[in-house]
A and B are shown apart, each in its own frame.
Chain A
Amino acid sequence: MNPPGAAGAQPESSATAGSTGEAKPAPEVLVTASANIPRTDGAPPAAGQPIPHARRPCLSWLRALPLLARPITRTMPWVTLITGCLAGTAFLAVMARVAGTSHSPLDLGTARLAFLPAIAALAFVLRAPFRPVTQVTPVPAWLAPAGHIALAAPVLAVACWAQLRIVAHTIPLRTLGHPPAIYPVIAQLTGWCAVTVAAAACADRSRYADLGGAIATPASFAAIALAWYAPVTSRFLIEPPATAHAVTIAWYSIATAGLALSCAAMRDRWHRYTRSRHRLSSPQRNPP
């Protein structure tokens, strides 16, 4: 996040790009372990060389997992997540209050809308602020964001349960016919969460990592709106015309694909920059 007038002052860029005097622009810089990079045994890397990664014995990080639980829990953005969940629940509570006075019960569509703030908050959970540092530690860099997602899951589940309870509370007991099935809604919300996590993970690996959540939220909302309104997708993802079973299967498939994409993005060790090294090393362009 650069203030106006301080363009180019990206700490990550200067740490990894390294080179200062090259005239040719480099569209992207690869920072990864390579057999060609000589080990220097504690010596700092020379200017212009990528940072070598620590050697990780296979699955050694599993032994470190209990030790990591505490820092992962402490670095988890609890306030963000809980604010999102509470905002949606508070909105639904207000709607339930209004629905009670106007005798018009809430539907599952309102529950879906109320879950959007939690989805938005989830997009900010994945951000690992010190990725260049964690990348050189003996444990995989993806462990912290994965741990945060694992911690967020029960909070989201509780929020979903509370919101569905609020909606159910507004429906009178003596209604005609069967109430709508809940399991397709749960599948749909799970799919939304997975899409958001995937979008956040991808944004976190881009040059917009600082605002990954702010990018991932509109992106996932756009994906949700597209799934809802595009005729091609709505035939499979919306009930009706699709059946409850088909909707459930389709959304869990999307959730699986989203989680796979998230895993791939979180394990990605590349750091991409589209700005040229020349621009990064030319502070005289920006007067103080």
Chain B
Amino acid sequence: MTATGGGPAVRGTGAAAPAGTGDRSRVTARHRAGRLRTVLGLARVEASLLVRSLLVLAGLLAGGAVVWVIFGSVEPLWWNAAWRIGFGQLVLGMAVLVAAQLAAGRARRDSMADLYASFPATACTRTVAHLAGLVGAAPASLVLIGATAVVVQVRGPIGAPSITVLAGGLLLVIAAGAAGIAIGTRFPHPLAGVLGALVLFLSSATSHLGSGGGIWLLPWEWTQDQLGSLPGPLAGYPPAGAHVLELAGIAVLAGIVALTVTAGRARARGGLATAGILALVVICLAGAMQLRPIPTAELNHLVREAADPASVQRCTTASHVRYCLYPGFGRDLPSVEAPVSGVLAHLPARPDQPLTLRQVLSLYLPDSTLTHGHPERQVSQWQAQMQRAPGNAATASAIYLPVGWWPAAGGRLADAHFDVALAAAEWAARIPHQATGNPNGPVFLPCVPLDQAREAIAIWLAILATRPPAGELQDGLGGLGTGRGFQGVEVRNTMVPTWAYPGWGASYITSAGAPQTTAAGYLLASAMLRLPEQKAARVLKSAWPTWLNWHTTDAQLAAALGIRMPSVPAPPAPFRTPRPGVTFVQPGSGPQNPLCTA
């Protein structure tokens, strides 16, 4: 707790020596110089204590961990990542607030008031030094910015960082420290600093306190923005410049409050009150600027990008497959193309209908943080346009990749590759995207290719194209293989065990209408993998149209390949007595998934 413990005394920080025979102005000048020297000396000590504070170090580590967790595995988009770095700064700011409160309250804690009163430096001088010593919190903040920026750069970001947003994080830390000093000068008990830090955290961590444009008034909005779903930076979202101004105003106001508490002279308090009013005006002005609606032209452009992506995207055709990506996302092309090419390489014959892979926006538009301040009629128009966005319609000849979900590297990228490969293989095997209900409604049940040879072929193609680890594929059966559990859907009053493929449910592609894979299809595909690849390819090529027929069964395919049809473990029988946490649905009583047909 170095920021609050003892430290070395400041050299040359004694009170200015009284003038012996000089005139009044020289005495005043020397007094001022001496006081400035005292302030600078004390500030240097306080800054040094803050730099070496264990609390600040812990806050830096915690902030880094928070940013790491928030970044996750998706590829970084700088217009989103820069704001997310601010979350780490918020955590660091909490630690700086507590450390600064402990330092500022030092003189009044543990009956030390008399001792400090005997020192030549006044309480006001010490407060000024504390405020100037907040420079000591800047290195930790800059280290956090630098370290996270390096991580983002290493993972291959899209876009460029906003210096204003990053500077806002630094100002947040300074403002939190100033607030800590203001608290510490009035309330020396350490609990006051902890409560101040909690207020800082809770104001940003809950979604109840801000809505619409008001979310930007919070110290650092955490939960409600859609920055990660944007295809590029959007002007005024967030209003970074105004937010920096607000944070600067808060820092100044907190400093003025701290000085007002410790200032002894009425004249000084009058000046501080004036400065405080000015700071309040700046904060209000910044707040008003943040509440301004996003320009209509910007939102029109965003809606057009979402509803009619073809008008802005750059398309590339390779092996008769179109890849359409938003400007700036071109570096993703090889990563998206690889699994599709892998499927095409093993395909006996291609469908007549061409395949398109297209990026889409997963924006939620009736969101008041985007549309606040615009008339209802305009918002309804935008909403109607968004309904026509391509990602909302289920079609087998297009694979939609939502912006902001594509992984940067590692196992998640392999899962995303398998997702794309399986979708391409389902297109090749002509498994339609049929479903009951609406993807955005309460009930949405995709079709199940129950006992259809083409499902096993699609899975076989996807595995061949991406070669995922066998253990991960087997894990998709859940407890079915070991008899410890069962996952399934109901089709035609029959419980069908399902298979969760790698990356299932991870939103790497929009799964509107994508068929539900079955355990039988996976087990047959894995049996096919044990055959020589040429043999399986020859059998498929010999009667390709037959295998694509939805009436052709798994057993027929197994017989043609000369293998035994793998047995699918039966679902466990219901318990005689109910068990906690286990729910059995009797066949015929639950919702029914449709069967995938022609």
Contacts and interface: CB of A to CB of B under 8 A. Distances in A.
Give the bracket for the number of chain B residues in contact with chain A.
Answer: 35 or more
A276 to B, nearest CB: 15
Given A5-B10, A286-B9, A120 B194 contact: yes
Interface residues of A, number: 43
A259 B578 CA distance: 36
Interface string A99-143: 100101010001001001100110010000000000000000000
Contact of A5 (B8, B198, B205, B206): B8
B112 A98 contact: no
Contact of A120 (B191, B202, B208): B191
A102 B211 contact: yes
A113 B209 CA distance: 14
A91 interface: yes
A264 interface: no
Contacts of A9: 6
A80 interface: yes
A215 B1 contact: yes
A57 B1 CA distance: 39
B202 A113 contact: yes
B208 A99 contact: yes
B62 interface: yes
Interface string A168-179: 000000000000
Interface string A212-226: 011101100010010
Interface in B94-124: 95, 98, 102, 106-107, 109-110, 112, 115-116, 119
A224 to B, nearest CB: 12
Contact of A116 (B55, B116, B198): B198
Contacts of A99: 208
A5 B9 contact: yes
Interface in B199-239: 199, 202, 205-206, 208-209, 211
A80 B191 contact: yes
A95 interface: yes
A223 to B, nearest CB: 12
A30 to B, nearest CB: 24
Contact of B206 (A3, A113, A120, A215): A113
Interface in A4-37: 4-9
B580 A286 contact: no
A90 B55 CA distance: 27
Contacts of B49: 4
Nearest to A285: B8
B581 A243 contact: yes
A113 B222 CA distance: 15
B208 A4 contact: no
A1 B189 CA distance: 12
B195 interface: yes
Contact of A84 (B5, B42, B112, B191): B191
B193 interface: yes
A214 B10 contact: no
Given A1-B109, A98-B208, A243-B580, A214 B1 contact: yes
B211 A117 contact: no
A214 B190 contact: yes
Nearest to A81: B191
A229 interface: yes
A199 B206 CA distance: 27
Nearest to A4: B7
Contact of A287 (B4, B6, B9, B202): B9
B195 A120 contact: yes
Task: Identify whether the interface residues of A are mostly helix, strand, loop, or mixed.
Answer: helix
Contacts of A60: none
B444 to A, nearest CB: 18
A208 B1 contact: yes
B115 A3 contact: yes
A93 interface: no
Given A113-B202, A120-B191, A245 B8 contact: no
A208 B55 CA distance: 13
B428 interface: no
Contacts of A253: none
B106 A214 contact: no
Nearest to A240: B581
Of A3, A5, A116, A210, most B-chain CB atoms within 10 Å: A3
Contacts of B42: 4
A5 B120 CA distance: 12
Contacts of A83: 191, 195
B443 interface: no
B8 A210 contact: no
Given A80-B191, A286-B8, A214 B98 contact: yes
Given A5-B8, A124-B190, A243-B581, A91 B1 contact: no
Contacts of B191: 80, 83-84, 120-121, 124, 213
Interface string A70-105: 000000000010011001000100010011001010
B6 A7 contact: yes
B208 A102 contact: yes
Contacts of A1: 4-5, 106, 109-110, 112
A113 B205 contact: yes
B194 A214 contact: yes
A101 to B, nearest CB: 10
B112 A7 contact: no
Contact of B195 (A5, A87, A104): A87
A40 interface: no
A120 to B, nearest CB: 4
Contacts of B10: 4-5
A180 interface: no
Contacts of A5: 6-10, 119
B252 to A, nearest CB: 26
A218 B98 contact: yes
A181 to B, nearest CB: 11
Contacts of A104: 208
B163 interface: no
Contacts of A222: 58, 62
Contacts of B58: 218, 222
B258 interface: no
B580 A8 contact: no
Nearest to B58: A218
Contacts of A217: 194
Given A4-B45, A5-B8, A120-B191, A218 B55 contact: yes
B69 interface: yes
A36 B194 CA distance: 45
29 contacts: A1-B110, A3-B6, A3-B107, A3-B112, A4-B42, A4-B49, A5-B8, A80-B191, A84-B191, A95-B206, A98-B208, A102-B211, A104-B208, A110-B208, A113-B205, A116-B198, A117-B195, A120-B191, A211-B102, A213-B190, A213-B191, A213-B194, A214-B98, A214-B193, A215-B1, A218-B98, A222-B62, A245-B580, A287-B11
Given A3-B106, A7-B8, A106-B208, 18 more contacts: A1-B109, A3-B116, A4-B9, A4-B42, A5-B9, A84-B195, A91-B202, A95-B209, A104-B208, A117-B194, A117-B198, A121-B191, A210-B110, A211-B4, A213-B191, A214-B98, A214-B193, A245-B580
Interface of B: 1, 4-11, 42, 45, 49, 55, 58, 62, 69, 95, 98, 102, 106-107, 109-110, 112, 115-116, 119, 189-191, 193-195, 198-199, 202, 205-206, 208-209, 211, 580-581
* Top 5 A-B residue pairs of the complex, sorted by shortest distance between their CB atoms: A2-B6, A5-B9, A7-B6, A214-B190, A4-B7
